[in-house]
Every structure is written in structure tokens, then in C-alpha cells.
């Protein structure tokens, strides 16, 4: 079997759960990099213990437009803190630190008012801050507009570390902007990226046809991080998801044939990663 790397799982829901137990406010989770870094590091260590070999920084939605409504927080400060926390969590382990960057809450022309130069400047600010703390790689994930992802990837590739690009697809096999797997491969491959794939939006079984199409269209290492389905709120106020950890790992297992990196996205937890690890161990027995 090809070299396989286990990713981590959800960050936001897990951090909010930890915050609630400690009586902390349910803030945008990037604020915890500054206000409560201990719960971020605690979660990341739990993922490493479960089997994660790449830990993504808690910086997914840290960008200038998102922080406009949070006075007192600086993009560079929050991003650099996020990388430092993750590097501390992976220290002394075999896990690597990935600077995690997502799409902007603005749309490029002609869908919105943001010009390419402005988009590029916003991403450059993120990468220059994060790379000052020397993460091992960069993950660009949950993009729906391949043109925004192209701009982010072009800026990321300037820093000389591996760059992995991931988009989020609907059941139709297209993103919300109508981008296809073919669009992603043709647009991003010439940039010299180091991996490509999908995350979020779909559970593992529903996402399998999309990642299979990636395998048919590219020789790049494939990144696969589906979510745990829709949340189900019970009468006692507790929340579960369509896929429990064991079911998730079972439905993910067919993707081992295609992918090089796999983990879990929204609604998951370290237990999902532990189940993925157990599935891999069973295959290798």
C-alpha cells in the first residue's frame, strides 16, 4: 500500500465543547489562540494521541475581513500564535504542523466586489505571518471558488514548503461556484502544488465518487477529509452526527485505495481519527 498519512479532525466544535466545560465564552475559535491557548494545545495533543500525523493550526478563518468586527485582535498576532501552539503540541512527536488557511468571507469579481490584487494582499498577510513561525507545510481547504484558491496557492508556493489544496463539493460533483474536479486539477496542477482533494460538505460515502474522480484525473497525492454528516439535536440537548466514529471509518476505508492523506472534518473528534487508525492497522495485519 502507498504511504498513508493520517490527518486530524474537526477543530471548531471540539474547541467549543472544551470552552463550555471551562465556562469560557463561545467565541470564534481563533480567539482561543490568544485568550485560551491551553485548550487549543490540549485538543491537538488528543489528535496526536489518536493517530494524527499532521496537525492543522487553529487559523482557518483568520484573515483581515473576518477580524474587522473583533477590535483588539491582529491577523499577524493570531496567526503566529496559532502556529506556535501547534508547534508546541507536535514537539517531541512524529506529527507535523500545517498552517491552515481557508477562503475569505468576500467574493471575487464578477461574483462580488473584491479584485484579485486585494485578495492576493490579504493572503500574503496571512502567509507572511504564519511562515515566520516555520510550520512544516500549508493546507488550503474548504474552498468553493477555484480562482480564489488559485490566488491563495500562488502566494503559498512562494514560501518553499509543501502546499496542499482542497475544495468542498456538493453531491453533484461540483462546488457551490460550479467548479468541477477537472477545473481544480487543470487550474492548480501547473502551480506546482503538492497535494489536492476535498474536505467538508459530504460524508465519506457520498464524497467517495468525487475523490475517485480526482484519482482518475491526477497523479498528485490526494487529500480526503469528509465530514461526519448533519448534526442531530436530541431531546436532552445533546448533539450527535449522521456518522458515528466507527461508521465513519468504515465508510472511509474504500478511499484508502486512492488517497495519501485522510482525516475527518466537521462534527468529528479524536475518536474518529482513532477509528481511522484502527481501520488502517486492520488492513495491514
For residue 16, pLDDT over 60 is answered with: yes
* 48 CB-near residues (< 8 Å, 6+ apart): 55, 89, 90, 93, 95
Q: pLDDT band at residue 113, thresholds of 50, 70 and 90?
A: very high
What was the pLDDT predicted at 211? 98
Q: From CA 113, how far away is CA 106, in angstroms rounded?
A: 8
Q: pLDDT band at residue 240, thresholds of 50, 70 and 90?
A: confident
pLDDT digits (tens, 9 = 90+) for 218-236: 999 999 999 998 777 777 7
What pTM value is reported for the model?
0.96
Q: pLDDT band at residue 100, thresholds of 50, 70 and 90?
A: very high
Do 85 and 133 contact (CB within 8 A), yes or no? no
Single out the residue of 155, 228, 162, 173 nearest to residue 196, CA to CA.
162
Q: From CA 175, how far away is CA 169, in angstroms rounded?
A: 4
* 71 CB-near residues (< 8 Å, 6+ apart): none
Q: Where are the alpha helices (DSSP H) in 91-180?
A: 116-131, 146-156
The residue behind cell 480562482 is 147
For residue 1, pLDDT over 60 is answered with: no
Single out the residue of 264, 223, 267 nearest to residue 241, CA to CA.
267
The whole-number average pLDDT for the span 128-146 is: 98
Do 266 and 12 contact (CB within 8 A), yes or no? yes
The whole-number average pLDDT for the span 148-166 is: 98
Query: Judging by DSSP bridges, how do beta strands 96-101 and 163-167 pair with one another?
Result: unpaired
The residue behind cell 477545473 is 183
Do 101 and 123 contact (CB within 8 A), yes or no? yes
Do 55 and 66 contact (CB within 8 A), yes or no? no
Joined grid coordinates for residue 3: 504511504
pLDDT digits (tens, 9 = 90+) for 58-98: 999 999 999 998 999 999 999 999 999 999 999 999 999 99
For residue 140, pLDDT over 70 is answered with: yes
pLDDT digits (tens, 9 = 90+) for 18-59: 999 999 999 999 999 999 999 999 999 999 999 999 999 999
The residue behind cell 508556493 is 157
The residue behind cell 463539493 is 169
What was the pLDDT predicted at 234? 74
pLDDT digits (tens, 9 = 90+) for 180-208: 999 999 999 999 999 999 999 899 999 99
Single out the residue of 231, 273, 269 nearest to residue 252, CA to CA.
273
What was the pLDDT predicted at 2? 61
Q: From CA 55, how far away is CA 47, in angstroms rounded?
A: 8
Q: From CA 84, how far away is CA 138, in angstroms rounded?
A: 14
Residue 105 is part of which domain span?
A: 5-283
What was the pLDDT predicted at 233? 75
The enclosing domain of 121 has a CATH number of 3.20.20.330
Share of the chain above pLDDT 70, in %: 99
Q: How many domains does the chain have?
A: 1
Amino acid at each position: 500500500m502507498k504511504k498513508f498519512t493520517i490527518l486530524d479532525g474537526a477543530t471548531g466544535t471540539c474547541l467549543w465543547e472544551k470552552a463550555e466545560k471551562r465556562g469560557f465564552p463561545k467565541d470564534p475559535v481563533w480567539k482561543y489562540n490568544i485568550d485560551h491557548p491551553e485548550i487549543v494545545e490540549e485538543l491537538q495533543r488528543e489528535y496526536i494521541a489518536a493517530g494524527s500525523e499532521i496537525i492543522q493550526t487553529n487559523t482557518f478563518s483568520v484573515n483581515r475581513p473576518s477580524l474587522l468586527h473583533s477590535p483588539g485582535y491582529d491577523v499577524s498576532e493570531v496567526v503566529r500564535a496559532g502556529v506556535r501552539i501547534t508547534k508546541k503540541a507536535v514537539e517531541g512527536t512524529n506529527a507535523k504542523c500545517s498552517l491552515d488557511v481557508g477562503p475569505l468571507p468576500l467574493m471575487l469579481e464578477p461574483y462580488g466586489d473584491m479584485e484579485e490584487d486585494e485578495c492576493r494582499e490579504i493572503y500574503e498577510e496571512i502567509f507572511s505571518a504564519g511562515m515566520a513561525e516555520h510550520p512544516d507545510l500549508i493546507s488550503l481547504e474548504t474552498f468553493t471558488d477555484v480562482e480564489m484558491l488559485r490566488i491563495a496557492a500562488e502566494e503559498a508556493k512562494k514560501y518553499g514548503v509543501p502546499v496542499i489544496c482542497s475544495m468542498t463539493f456538493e453531491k453533484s460533483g461540483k462546488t457551490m461556484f460550479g467548479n468541477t474536479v477537472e477545473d481544480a486539477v487543470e487550474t492548480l496542477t501547473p502551480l506546482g502544488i503538492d497535494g489536492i482533494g476535498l474536505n467538508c460538505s459530504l460524508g465519506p460515502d457520498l464524497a467517495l465518487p468525487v475523490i475517485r474522480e480526482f484519482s482518475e484525473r491526477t497523479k498528485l497525492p490526494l487529500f480526503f477529509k469528509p465530514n461526519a454528516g448533519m448534526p442531530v439535536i436530541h431531546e436532552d440537548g445533546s448533539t450527535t452526527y449522521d456518522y458515528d466514529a466507527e461508521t465513519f471509518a468504515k465508510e472511509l476505508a474504500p478511499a484508502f485505495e486512492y488517497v495519501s492523506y485522510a482525516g475527518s472534518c466537521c462534527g468529528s473528534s479524536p475518536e474518529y481519527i482513532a477509528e481511522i487508525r484502527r481501520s488502517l492497522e486492520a488492513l495491514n495485519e
